[in-house]
Amino acid sequence: MTTGTLITVAPTGAESAKTEVPALPVTLDELLLTAKECEALGAAVIHVHIRDDEARPTLDLGRLRATVAALRESTDLIVQLSTGGAVTDPEADRLAVLEAAPDMASCTMGTVNFGDEVFLNRWEFVVELHTRMQERGIVPEYEIFDLGHLGALQRLLGKYGLPHGGHVHVDFVMGVPGGMPGTTATLVAAQQMLRDLPEGTTFSATGIGRTSLPVLLAALSAGGHLRVGMEDTVTYAKGRPVESNMQLVARAVGFAQLAQRPPLNTAEARVLLGL
Ligand code: KMH
Ligand code: ZN
């Protein structure tokens, strides 16, 4: 059964520089304002990367804790912390993100070339993330950068059991140079592979850069959910920089409504995700 659309906003990421993308929210105040406005537009989940005082990506635990608390106080959004961080972040720091006790956290299902870099996710590390989240009652979002990552997820769940809450939700991150392409054909292939995962597994999708719109449209028509935000694209249309995360969320909401799959509110999203 096709339901409404879960909309996740990923407002910041670890890759863009504030100097090059001034609209990127990097301070706590900027993040909170973005979060409130995106929630009002229809987002239900926020995927969070934070920055330090120089706007550099950081996994500082004190800041992460303060960010989770502030988001909970100002919004009803489901707070999902990134354990992916930046490609340079050590595994120990990425695991320690869970100490900030978010509602959800990302769990990338394997290593992938990431432009000119490598986003390293060793099997033992993935297992550690998954089992620590089970122990702490944190719901994972499994990040799928390539089709083989779905095979890894099948193996993970088979060996170590279902995530906290019992529901499996994956996010197809498409169009990363080195990962799966951001095309309809690839999205359909990825969706078909979900048949090997527990019944009821849901997916969202996001397309990096210029694959953002094709992936959004393919995901909506396939019954999937949406992730949008300046982590993934900073260009709204050819020659037009994104003005704000709200612009991207508003566009996603518009398409979801056109598809007669309106945005899920935060309470509905919690039910869907098993929170
Ligand atoms: N910044 C990328 C290296 C995640 O947040 O879990 C990893 C990433 C995935 O964005
Ligand atoms: Zn991320």
14 lines ligand 1 (CB under 6 A): yes
Q: What is the pLDDT of residue 73?
A: 98
User: CA-CA distance, 275 to 4, in Å (whole number)?
Assistant: 17
Number of H helices, E strands in the chain: 9, 14
Give me the half-sphere count of Cα atoms (radius 13 Å) on the Cβ side of residue 148.
7
117: β partners: 114
> Does the residue 159 lie in any domain?
yes
DSSP, residue by residue, 94-138 = HHHGGGG--SEEEEE-S-EEETTEEE---HHHHHHHHHHHHHHT-
Give the number of the atom of ligand 1 that is nearest the alpha carbon of residue 87: 3
> Does the residue 2 lie in any domain?
no
User: CA-CA distance, 38 to 44, in Å (whole number)?
Assistant: 8
User: CA-CA distance, 137 to 121, in Å (whole number)?
Assistant: 22
82 lines ligand 1 (CB under 6 A): yes
> Does the residue 1 lie in any domain?
no
**Residues whose CB is under 5 A from ligand 2 (ion)?**
82, 84
143 lines ligand 1 (CB under 6 A): yes
pLDDT in tens for each of the 275 residues of the chain? 458 999 999 999 999 999 999 999 999 999 999 999 999 999 999 999 999 999 999 999 999 999 999 999 999 999 999 999 999 999 999 999 999 999 999 999 999 999 999 999 999 999 999 999 999 999 999 999 999 999 999 999 999 999 999 999 999 999 999 999 999 999 999 999 999 999 999 999 999 999 999 999 999 999 999 999 999 999 999 999 999 999 999 999 999 999 999 999 999 999 999 99
Which structural domain range is residue 13 located in?
7-273
Give the number of the atom of ligand 1 that is nearest the alpha carbon of residue 57: 1
CATH number for position 105 = 3.20.20.70
Q: Whose CA is nearest to atom 10 of ligand 1?
A: 84
> Does the residue 16 lie in any domain?
yes
- How remote is the CA of residue 106 from the centroid of ligand 1, in Å? 8
Q: What is the pLDDT of residue 3?
A: 85
Provide the ipTM.
0.98
Phi-psi region of 52 (alpha: psi -120 to 50; beta: other; left: phi over 0): beta
126 lines ligand 1 (CB under 6 A): no
Q: Whose CA is nearest to atom 1 of ligand 1?
A: 86
> Does the residue 88 lie in any domain?
yes
106 lines ligand 1 (CB under 6 A): yes
Q: Whose CA is nearest to atom 9 of ligand 1?
A: 84
Ligand nearest to the CA of 12: 2
Give the number of the atom of ligand 1 that is nearest the alpha carbon of residue 106: 6
User: CA-CA distance, 184 to 41, in Å (whole number)?
Assistant: 26
Q: How many domains does the chain have?
A: 1
Helices (H), the chain: 28-41, 61-74, 91-96, 123-136, 148-160, 184-193, 212-221, 245-258, 266-273
Cα 169 to chain centroid distance, Å, stands at 11
Give the number of other Cβ atoms within 10 Å of residue 223's Cβ: 15
- How remote is the CA of residue 202 from the centroid of ligand 1, in Å? 20
> Does the residue 180 lie in any domain?
yes
232 lines ligand 1 (CB under 6 A): no
Helix (H) or strand (E) holding 206: strand 202-207
Q: What is the pLDDT of residue 2?
A: 57
Residue owning tokens 């309106």: 262
